Each structure stands twice: as structure tokens, then as C-alpha cells.
Structure 1
Amino acid sequence: MNITLRADATPSAPALLLRPWGEPDIGPLVEAFRDPALRRGARGPMESAEDVRAWLELQERGWITGERLAFAVLEGHPGPGEGWLAGSVVIKRGVSGQGPAEAGYWTAAHARGRGVAPRALEAVTRWTFEIFETFAAEGLESVNLLHQVDNPASCRGAEKARYEFRQVLPAQPLAFPGPGHLHVRQAGSPA
């Protein structure tokens, strides 16, 4: 998969490169998931190279089926076309492709507070609307973003990426142990 997206630099943060996950990300993912705040929101362990390889296989399968389009978010340029792992953004679609897609993201501890999440989320959301309008019989009308109520940073990131707050959702044990927020981004929402 040779898909790469970019998000421009800001006065306080470097440009971002977004690309599908791969083998070079094993070490940086293990390191990123040493952060207790990141582990709290994780759906499974990411403590070893074996854990990460299993997760990478799920990401690759998601690209093949079109159900889970996950991007590594990199910043800076230590090597050709690469950067330091700053986070992740994913767009999830159901098997039928009907209804809204769902966005998710996280930011590595060292990259928080510099607008990484909203810039990456904006780039992937814009790409998602373009790609589904181009290749699907019917364009994608909206993307949902869910996060726990006790995660105000995710709320700010969603709003900066023009995801409008819609409602508080009740807890859904296992997936969402506490109440959550639903944010929605409509296709064609103004820049």
C-alpha cells in the first residue's frame, strides 16, 4: 500500500506524514505503549514485538478488506520519507459499507499538545470523504468519532478537526466502560 498523506507544519510543530503501518513501526509502537495513558485506552496488549506483529497483521487485513484503514502518524524527518512516531489515525467501515464510518486516533506522549491529533485526523477525514466519493456508488455522508467523557483532550482534538459534538452516549461495557461523547463530521463541512 503506497498511500501517504501529509499535514502541514504549524509554527510550533513539524509537518506530519501519514502512511499505513508496517514492520519499521514495531519498536516505536512498543515504546509508545509504555505510556500508561495510552495503555488505558488500548483494546489489547502492545508490550512486545509479538503483540505488535499481531496488531500489524490486523491493520494489514483491514486495508485488504477496506474495513479498517489505519495510518501511522510520523513527524520530523530523521530519514528519507520517514519520521518519528507521533500517533495513529484509523477510519473503520462496516462490512456492508453502509452508514457512517468511524474515526479513532491516539497521540504518543512526546507529541501531545502540538496539534498532531487534529491535523492528522483532518488529513485522513478529508482523504476518506474524497476516496469514498470517488470509488463508491454512493459517497460517504459522515464520519463518527467516539471517546470517553473523561478524555477532554480527545474532545478538543475532535472539535479542532471540525467534528461536531452531538451527544453523550451511555456506557457500553467492554467497548466503552464509561459514558462517551459522539462527535460527527459531515461530508462537505466547510474548512
Structure 2
Amino acid sequence: MPFKISDIVAAGTLARRAQPTLPVTGGDLVLRPWVAEDAPAVYEAFQDPVIQRWHARVADSEDEVRGWIEGWRKAWADERDAYWAVADADSGQVVGRVALRCIVLADGQAEIAYWTMPSARGRGIAPRAVTSLTEWAFEEVGLHRLELTHSTANEASCRVALKTGFTPEGTKRSALLHEDGWHDMHLHARIRGDAPTASP
């Protein structure tokens, strides 16, 4: 029996093209695919106590991180997740990460995630990267809904969500296990067609 509703985004929309490099408003940053040479920067990021607090994963070596990067690149081809390095447009230096996770093209949905290198914090990098990726996901890919979740204790992440127009929709109780126990998670979302926000 055929489905009554067509897929929101057709299978193959991502896999049939190379992962693009995307400009970030302001011109000084780009979102680019990860390369093996980025392993030292990712390893450094995951030594940071703030990043460790909000992630279940730790990095024991640069070799391990190279395996992560290989997995991130494969996830694009599999249309499961899409990970970008946030990098200085001139030097290529990594200043953060932004991603679409848990992509379901048929439903037109994904979850957005991000982190910023400790040395790059305070420059508005995360909001700018999230805004650029959100616009691409809606306008170029055709996704309908993006979700953003964070621990209710993660006030910095909540500020990024609000600055980038992700509307609070509620609290998912005891939804994610962190090292210090179960955390309630704030759920934010943007729908394609939501009014654009001011530049973060």
C-alpha cells in the first residue's frame, strides 16, 4: 500500500553531492567538512572541562579522533548526520563545530548541535554558525523542522538557542544521562518559514 504523504526531502539529497563549505555571516568564518588534519584541534577541544561536562564521549588520543572524523565523513554519505568544522576563513583554524544530527529526510527533520573551542569563546561564533547552518538546512536542503536540545543546567547553550530563533517548546524530564546523573533537557525548535531573527 503506498504512503499518502510524500517524503519531505528525497533520499539521496545529501549523499549524491559532496558536503559543501558554507559561508558564515561576517565573512571571517566558514563551515567546512572535517579533514584528518583537524584531529589535534578536536582532541584539544575534548580536553576542555566545559566540553567534557556536556558530552558523554572523551578523546584519549589524536588517533582516536581521526577515527571520529572518518565516521563524521561517512555519516554524510549515509545521510544520518552532517558535521562541519567552524573554521577561520583565512587560516583554516578550527574554532568550533556545528552539526545536523539524527537526520530523517523523509520527515524533513534533524537536530542541531554545536560546541566552541575554549580559545574562541565570547566572539558569538556558535550563534553565527547555527544561524548559517539553519538557513542552509531550510533553504537548500528543504528540511521542515530543526530541534535543539540542551541540559536545563547549560545556560550558555540556552542563550545560543534563543539568539538564533529556536523557540522554547518545553522540558523533557530526566531525558539524558550525564556523568553526574540524569538531566532534564530543554527542547527548542525552528520551523521552516519562521520569521528570521536579528543577526546574533
TM over 0.5: yes
Is residue 2:125 matched to residue 1:116?
A: yes
Give the distance between the partners of 2:132 and 2:105, measured in 1 at CA.
24
Structure (1 or 2) with the larger CA radius of gyration: 2
Paired residue for 1:153, among 153, 156, 176? 156
Is the 8 Å Cα contact of residues 176 and 184 (structure 2) preserved in structure 1? no
Q: How does 1:35-50 map to 2 (within 5 A)?
A: 35-50=48-63
How does the TM-score come out when normalised to structure 1? Answer: 0.85
Runs of 4+ in 1 over 4 A off after TM superposition: none
Could you tell me the percent identity over the aligned residues?
Answer: 34
Q: Of 179, 186, 192, which aligns to 1:187?
A: 192
- Residue 22 in 1 paired to residue 35 in 2? yes
Asked if 1 retains the 8 angstrom alpha-carbon contact of 2:87 and 2:95, the reply is yes
Quote the RMSD (CA, aligned, Å).
Answer: 1.9
Structure 2 CA distance for aligned equivalents of residues 96 and 5 of structure 1:
20
- Secondary structure of the residue aligned to 1:172 is strand
Change (3 A) 1:20 1:167: same
Distance of 2:171 and 2:189 partners within structure 1: 12
Q: Which whole-Å CA distance do the structure 2 matches of 1:21 and 1:99 have between them?
A: 24
1:177 paired residue number: 182
Aligned residues: 177
TM-score, scaled to structure 2? 0.81
Partner residue in 2 for 1:89? 98
Once the two structures are superposed, what CA deviation does each residue of 1:34-80 show, in whole Å capped at 9, x if it has no partner? 211111222322231122022112201210011101100012523xx
CA distance in 2, matches of 1:70, 1:44: 16
Aligned-pair distance for 1:105?
Answer: 0.7
SS at match of 2:169: strand
- C-alpha deviation, 1:95, in angstroms: 5.3
Determine which structure has greater relative contact order: mean sequence separation of CA pairs < 8 Å that are 6+ residues apart, divided by chain length: 2
Say which structure is richer in strand. Answer: 2
Instruction: Report deviation, 1:168.
Output: 1.3
Is the 1:94–1:101 Cα contact (8 Å) retained in structure 2? yes
Inter-partner Cα distance in structure 2 for 1:101 and 1:159: 18
